[in-house]
Structures are given as C-alpha cells and as structure tokens.
Amino acid sequence: MSRIGKLPIKVPSGVKIEIKGQNITVQGPKGKLTRAINPKVSLELDGDTLHVKRSDDSRPVRALHGLTRALVANMVEGVSNGFKKELIVTGVGYKVEEKGRQLVLHLGFSHPVEFPLPEGITAKVERQKEISIVLEGYDKETLGLTAARIRSFRPPEPYKGKGIRYVDEVIIRKAGKAAAK
C-alpha cells in the first residue's frame, strides 16, 4: 500500500467536493479547481473524508495512487487556505513594480520585462533591505510555474549572487579570479 496514497484527505468545512466520473471539482472560499483523474484510480467521499482507491497493485498504478492523493490534497488545501511563494531580487539597480495585473521587472537589461500574472495569482512587492515578491494563489501548480518563470528572467549567478532566487534557496558562491603574482 502506498504510504501517501492510503492517507485519507480531511475536507474542511466550507469546501465542497463534487465527483463526476473521472473528474473532481473542489470549491472553497479561495476559488474553484477541476482536475481529471486517471481511470485506474477512484475517489470515494465518506462524509468529510476523501479516500483514494486504486484498481490493482501494479507498479504504475501504485505510483498514480500516491500522485492522485497528493494532487487532490493540494486542491483541497489551496481552495481553503491558499499557497504562498516568495522570491528575493538581489542586485544594484534591480527593481520591481506592480502595474495592475502585471509585474514590471527592471533587471539590468536594456528594457523592462513585463510579466502578466496568470488568473488566480496575486503578487505583492515588498521593499526592505532587499526586494521581495510575494506570490499567492489557490492553485499550487500554477503558483510554482509562475514563480519559476519570474526566476528564469534573471537566475542567481554564483559570483556575486545577483538575480532572482527563492527565499529558501541557497546560492553556492564561487571565488572570483585570483590575482596573479
């Protein structure tokens, strides 16, 4: 039995789950998510608990069992509490602005980079010692892709650490050129 797949998913109050064939719709205070489930895996709603069942014990189906449970648990968590990712922008002259539903990033290029935010994702720019971009949303997959796309505009470089990085990311710094004697 899959250690992750066998765990029940607790459905909080205020979250409505609808299962139609191989599609699941989860609706909560933050938003609404829909996903198609593989036919080899089934979902059973028992009161306020959701169970993921599999059709057989073959290796691919066992993998789908845990994957499906994790995806559905993230859907339930997202529509009830939401998710958050934080990016740090480091570099002299780098700045980030919010303009409606898009971010304008000045990252040392000859032009500013305009990035439209996907539906369901909000961004907040905070300026303390470093500039941080706080992304929030109810869809974990879209949130992660958005954060990765923003990071890809100027990934952190290993010599001075300039660029855009995740808040918990560790940049291994390299030594520069040694002076010749």
The CATH number covering residue 128 comes to 3.90.930.12
The model's confidence at residue 26, banded by pLDDT at 50, 70 and 90, is: very high
Q: How many residues does the chain have?
A: 181
Same domain (yes/no): 88, 150: yes
**Residue 97, pLDDT score:** 94
Q: Which is nearest to 69 in space by CA: 146, 4, 157?
A: 4
Lowest mean pLDDT among 97-101, 103-107, 162-166, 175-179: 175-179
Final residue of a domain: which of 80, 104, 122?
Answer: 80
Residue 36 belongs to domain spanning = 9-80
Q: Is the pLDDT of residue 86 over 60?
A: yes
Q: What mean pLDDT is predicted for residues 105-133?
A: 93
What does the block give as tokens for 133?
């971009």
- The CA distances from residue 133 to 86, 88, 105, in Å, are 6, 6, 11
Q: Span 41-68, mean pLDDT?
A: 92
Neighbours of 3 (CB within 10 A): 7
For residues 139 and 117, state if they share a domain.
yes
Rounded Cα gap, residues 151 and 165, in angstroms: 6
**Predicted local confidence at residue 158, as pLDDT:** 93
Q: How many domains does the chain have?
A: 2
Residue 102, token pair as written in the block:
């898009």
Average per-residue pLDDT in the chain? 92
**Residue 120 placed within a domain:** yes
Has residue 1 got a pLDDT over 60?
no
Q: Is the domain of 44 the same as that of 110?
A: no
